[in-house]
Structure 1
Amino acid sequence: MADDRTNRGPQDRSRINLGEDYEVRYWTDKFGISKSQLEEAVRKAGSSAAAVEEELRRQTLSGDR
């Protein structure tokens, strides 16, 4: 079944899908970061939204961001 493009949020809010523009927009808005920062966090932490959020928190605390 194809994604419902009228749905602005991700289908599975526990995972980040970088292959869908609307999901990238959702997550960059949610975390207040750029697309490249999101891609880097996903590369480091995997596609789990919780793991990415923790990675971003870690970066903020250590000043990497």
Structure 2
Amino acid sequence: MHSVRMARERVGNLALSSSYVKHGVADIPAFLEALDALLDATSPHGPVEMRYATRAIAWRVHG
């Protein structure tokens, strides 16, 4: 598992860069307000630690 510490602004930018937010959220300002409220409740004193796990699946392609 890999982790990255992110400031609030970076978390917001990461969320906005995701296709499911870009294309699936009708009210972006309300989404960002809700994200700020979540960060206020869970990380009021600093950066957020984002944890990533990467899985790779591979197979041979014949052709």
TM-score range (shorter-chain normalised) is 0.3 to 0.5
Q: TM-score, normalising length from structure 2? A: 0.33
Q: Point out the structure with max Rg over C-alpha.
A: 2
Of Structure 1 and Structure 2, the greater helix share is in: 1
